Amino acid sequence: MDQFAVKVFVRLRPSVLDPAGEATKSASIKLGAEGIKSLRIGKMIEVKIEGNGEDEVRKKIDLLCDRLFANIVIEDYEYSLEKL
């Protein structure tokens, strides 16, 4: 069995208003930061997982992302995977 460290990023889809991102953008501008064009907030989920090779682990992570980590009605996801 191989062990992998997976980082899953879940974000609201671009078409979905992100009020928390908008509020944080507004605060960032008040702080004096210049040039912020957009700011959106997502989640990062770290998973350590075992499996027989990368393909098997990707299948497991895809299932988790599609059915639990993200609500694909409103969110997109992507992930990176590193063999430990």
The binding site for another protein (CB under 8 A) comprises: 12, 16-17, 19-20, 23, 68-69, 71, 73-74
Amino acid at residue number 76: D
CB of 2 to another protein, least distance (A): 27
Nearer to another protein, 8 or 57 (CB): 8
Closest CB 52 distance from another protein, rounded Å:
25
Tell me how crowded residue 32 is: count the other CB atoms within 10 A of its CB.
6
Q: How far is the CB of 74 from another protein (least distance, A)?
A: 5
User: In which element (H, E) is residue 42 found?
Assistant: strand 42-51
Looking at the DSSP assignment, which residues form a beta bridge with residue 83?
Answer: 4
Q: Output the CA torsion sign for 66, 16, 6, 48.
A: negative
**In the complex with another protein, which residue's Cβ is closer, 68 or 84?**
68
